[in-house]
Amino acid sequence: VSFSVVRVRIAPSPTGNLHVGTARTALFNYLFAKRYGGQFIVRIEDTDTSRSESVYVQNIHDGLKALGLSWDEGPDVGGAFGPYTQSERLDTYRPFAEQLVQQGLAYYDFTPETEIEAMREKATANKQPFIYRVEPLPAQEQQSRLNAGEVASIRFRVPRSRQTVQFSDLVRESVSFDAGLMGDFVILKSDGTPSYNFAVVVDDALMQISHVIRGEDHISNTPKQILLYEALNWAVPQFAHLGMILAPDRSKLSKRHGATAVSDYVASGYLPEAFVNFMALLGWSDPQAEELLSLSQLCERFSLDRVSHSGAIFDVDKLNWMNGHYIREMALPDLWERVRPALASAYDLSVYSQEQQWLMLDVVKEPFITLNDAVPAVSYFFGNSVTVEPSVQQDVLALPESQDVLTYAIEQWLPTVNFTDLALVRTALKGLAPALKPMKAKTVMWAVRAALTGRVQGADLATVVYLLGPDRVAHRLKQAQQVPAA
């Protein structure tokens, strides 16, 4: 089978927020479409009405958008093969199921679900595999019982002579299943809704999906889907099953290992571009062995032959490293825009000019892991006074030497500082330690920093002095002076 166009999709069920596994699947589909000039489609599989919720549809949309994974066709943007929400396609499935019944490839099953469940339990108790296959009732009898209003599901009849279902997976080469172990499976439930395996085949076929790229957890569904394609006489798409994303202990990634929703990572201050880069390496590796790659670079380099079929560990330390790297590399005005909303709700930013705001961020950003580190990092730039950490009070400010530094700084040094620009402040600060010789420069700077910021580490001190301005510098130096000697 050859497809002239690449058409790929993700088909999330809106039963939860956009999961990192689904997001990684979306990313690989998106990259594959971009690499080969195809289309990327979003289809919402919401036929499980008891578990599907519209808030999750919204969260999935928002998450994909935040990651920059735009789609060519989908519930919101439409397209030639819509609707793209399964619950709006319910009329689509029955005719195909009935066609299969007509052809003797499927049958109405009137056996109550409870009875089938009992059979399953009995088989399990006897350690037997449960393979549900019944011989269909004669067509007339099926019809007359239906006419009498009896409830029935439609089951696909696994061809009895079929021995194996084989397909070549683009990630794992040849995959083969024993057809003899497959039971006849429901394609249309007694309430008229399609089963997942049936709906996915009908939708993928009607939407002319060329490649089905999805998680390995669906690999055992694939033989059922292939039998349906064959029965319906439709072209079978190419399959590619991605290795799962695992927790560090190699178990399935779940909430007990930390956040699993993309929106949680975004809310925790991870940059979407860093998260995309990180996800790309969960199961794919760059031919040039590079690790830091933008979405557009990924679009150029991605191919399925470098995707692994084994599990990929979700390594938060690596994500943190990457996120910090992206933060440090980002242009300052862009970074400012990302952190501004959080800063604006914590502080009165209007006390600083735009240039001063950028400068402040520039001198504190170095150790950031996430964007959420910005609010605590700039706290001492706001307010008249500063909160001094108890250990800093004790170990630095309380020292007699520090007190000498403060006295000198207030009385002799501060009146000489020209605050009109940063370079002048820097020069003035350079002159402070020599004036206090033989005291060590380090001791001098520690005392000033502790008094002004309440901390022993942090931003470039000249910038701190410059941004605080003469009044607050004086106020904070004096406040620190009142600390009683140890």
Catalytic residues: 255
Count, residues near ligand GLU per rule CB under 6 A: 7
Least distance from ligand GLU to the Cβ atom of residue 45, Å:
4
Least distance from ligand GLU to the Cβ atom of residue 451, Å:
57
**Closer CB to ligand GLU, residue 9 or residue 155?**
9
Least distance from ligand GLU to the Cβ atom of residue 218, Å:
5
Among 64, 105, 200, 307, binds ligand GLU (CB under 6 A): 200
CB 230 within 8 A of CB 158: no
CB 361 within 8 A of CB 378: yes
Q: What is the DSSP string of 247-304?
A: -TTSSBP-GGGS--BHHHHHHTT--HHHHHHHHHTTTB--TT------HHHHHHH--G
Question: How distant is the alpha carbon of residue 413 from its chain centre?
Answer: 52
**Could you say whether residue 13 binds ligand GLU (CB under 6 A)?**
yes
**Could you say whether residue 169 binds ligand GLU (CB under 6 A)?**
no
Piece in contact with ligand GLU (CB under 6 A), picked from 5-13, 76-84, 183-191, 438-446: 5-13
Piece in contact with ligand GLU (CB under 6 A), picked from 7-15, 128-136, 389-397, 408-416: 7-15
Q: What is the DSSP string of 144-156?
A: HHHHTT---EEEE
Question: How distant is the alpha carbon of residue 446 from its chain centre?
Answer: 42
CB 74 within 8 A of CB 84: yes
**Closer CB to ligand GLU, residue 13 or residue 277?**
13
Among 45, 46, 73, 273, binds ligand GLU (CB under 6 A): 45
**Closer CB to ligand GLU, residue 213 or residue 397?**
213
Beta bridge partners of 13: none
User: From CA 260, how far away is CA 271, in angstroms rounded?
Assistant: 16
Among 6, 7, 8, 11, binds ligand GLU (CB under 6 A): 11
Closest CA to 295 of 72, 76, 64, 73: 64
- Cα–Cα distances in angstroms (integers) from residue 100 to residues 141, 204, 254, 300, 456, in the given order: 17, 18, 39, 43, 76
Piece in contact with ligand GLU (CB under 6 A), picked from 9-17, 99-107, 243-251, 337-345: 9-17
**Closer CB to ligand GLU, residue 103 or residue 220?**
220
**Closer CB to ligand GLU, residue 237 or residue 458?**
237
Least distance from ligand GLU to the Cβ atom of residue 180, Å:
24
**Closer CB to ligand GLU, residue 214 or residue 301?**
214
**Closer CB to ligand GLU, residue 13 or residue 142?**
13
Among 211, 218, 241, 455, binds ligand GLU (CB under 6 A): 218
Q: What is the DSSP string of 425-472?
A: HHHHHHHHHHHTTTS-HHHHHHHHHHHHHSSSS-S-HHHHHHHHHHHH
Least distance from ligand GLU to the Cβ atom of residue 215, Å:
7
Complete edge-to-edge strand list for the sheet that includes strand 185-188: 106-109, 153-156, 185-188
For residue 274 the two structure tokens come to 């860093």
Piece in contact with ligand GLU (CB under 6 A), picked from 6-14, 101-109, 239-247, 378-386: 6-14
Least distance from ligand GLU to the Cβ atom of residue 200, Å:
5
**Could you say whether residue 214 binds ligand GLU (CB under 6 A)?**
yes
Among 12, 38, 223, 324, binds ligand GLU (CB under 6 A): 12
Least distance from ligand GLU to the Cβ atom of residue 21, Å:
9
Peptide bond into 129 cis (omega under 30): no
Closest CA to 314 of 229, 231, 248: 248
User: From CA 327, how far away is CA 335, in angstroms rounded?
Assistant: 7
Helix (H) or strand (E) holding 177, with range, is strand 173-178
Binding region for ligand GLU (CB under 6 A): 11-13, 45, 200, 214, 218
